Chains A and B, each alone.
Chain A
Amino acid sequence: MFVWLHPYAKTERAYALCNTLMPYFLSAAVLGLSVGLVWGMLFAPSDYQQGDSFRIIYIHVPSAILSMGTYVAMAIAGLVGLVWQWKTAYMSMIAMAPVGALVCFISLFTGAAWGKPMWGTWWIWDARLTSQLILLFLYFGVMALYYAFSDRQQAGKAAAIIALIGVINIPIIHYSVEWWNTLHQGSTITKIGKPSIAPSMKWPLLVSIAGFMGLIGTLTLMQLKNVIIERELHRPWVKQLLSQQETK
């Protein structure tokens, strides 16, 4: 069924694919983010309770949703690597890790910045902030393990196992933290903005989510290209490519 994918197990083809896909993701990122953010920041109506400070959701919500999505994508790449023994699958996995960690950090940072005017404090052990923080630690774990090995193939396998354990745990962590939070604090202000969002606010949000997807895709492809070049440095096609770049 996935036979068409097999050529991309070769690093050279994967590199070429990165170059082909890059413009699409880049334009999605530029278009989505500029339209979504300008629309959200300038034209969407302000919230009747929170005023203009709610506008940070146009960054916060996409990054929060996609940081988790990126982790799942990373674990799937790891699983593909373990099952079919593809070098490029491990490479994409480790290319996604720093991007996902960055997005996760953005969501935590914007969450804290939003929390200051809303809750009067930068940090609150709110369920979603907490599970987001744990997610960041999970990303760090995968990267730390990967870079601790000197053999990259071994590193890929080891990191894939940890990524899979993490992905099995994400839902458990998510629900346990939510439950822990309600137990300790009761239902709090965290419900702000959650029930039914007005269409005039929703559309810019959806557009900026699409823009964030494009951004994550672009960054991952850039990172993947680096990872491929770094690992295949001694291969003839990379040497050729590098000498071409020098002559330009």
Chain B
Amino acid sequence: MDVLIAQSLTCVKQDRVLFSDLDIILRAGELVHLTGPNGAGKTSLLRILAGLAQPETGLVHTNSADTYDVPLLYLGHKLAQNKHLSAIENLTYWSALHRVNPSVESLYHILAQYQLVGLEDLPTGQLSAGQQRRVSLARTELVQAPLWILDEPYTSLDVTGVSFIQTRVDEYVSRGGCVIMTSHQALSSSHLVRELVLEYQI
């Protein structure tokens, strides 16, 4: 099943063509690793696929079946959490915005899985960069989405953190989810990783 179809995408930033006439089809149960040098437009492509930015030309269709809460989950460079609010509060408000209302106990349970025991009620500004990233990634447990778009999810995570997220991604893909992600390190997944390479264009 196709989760996302993008047709002839062209992206222009600062009057420089990052990529042109790009077609992408993402299918369920697929793990796509988007690679390319700095400035090739990886983040721009992910933002276009997520629907945050408009491509210069081209269209993006997402499959929004009723069985899911949202058509896709996008976690970008910015962690989308306010540093004056605690992890619990950040996640509660975010879930409410997406029309899911998990109980506080389940939030504590999820945060425990992400090794944030005892930090749940501190303002996230007081957490380390890696811990903040974990809070952000904990969102993947809160909503049902057919597609995850992860932009550099391993940034500032330690080795155990990286392998933990890697297992979560693997489980999700086995359940039929689709993941497109960027990462500077090679993905050690139990699944077949499809490499999508963006060349730097002048």
Contact = CB atoms under 8 A, between A and B. Distances in A.
Interface in B1-55: 12-16, 54
Interface string B43-74: 00000000000101000000000000000000
Contact of A150 (B12, B14, B54): B14
Interface residues on chain A, size class: under 10
Contacts of A150: 14
A234 B15 contact: yes
A231 B14 contact: no
Interface residues on chain B, size class: under 10
A231 B12 CA distance: 12
A151 interface: yes
Interface in A18-75: none
Nearest to A232: B15
Nearest to A157: B54
A152 interface: yes
A153 interface: yes
Nearest to A152: B15
A232 B14 CA distance: 11
A231 B15 CA distance: 7
Interface string B107-131: 0000000000000000000000000
A230 to B, nearest CB: 10
Interface of B: 12-16, 54, 56
8 contacts: A85-B54, A150-B14, A151-B13, A151-B14, A153-B12, A153-B56, A232-B15, A234-B16
Given A151-B13, A232-B15, 11 more contacts: A85-B54, A150-B14, A151-B14, A152-B14, A152-B15, A153-B12, A153-B15, A153-B56, A231-B15, A234-B15, A234-B16
Leading 3 A-B pairs by shortest Cβ distance:
A151-B14, A231-B15, A152-B15
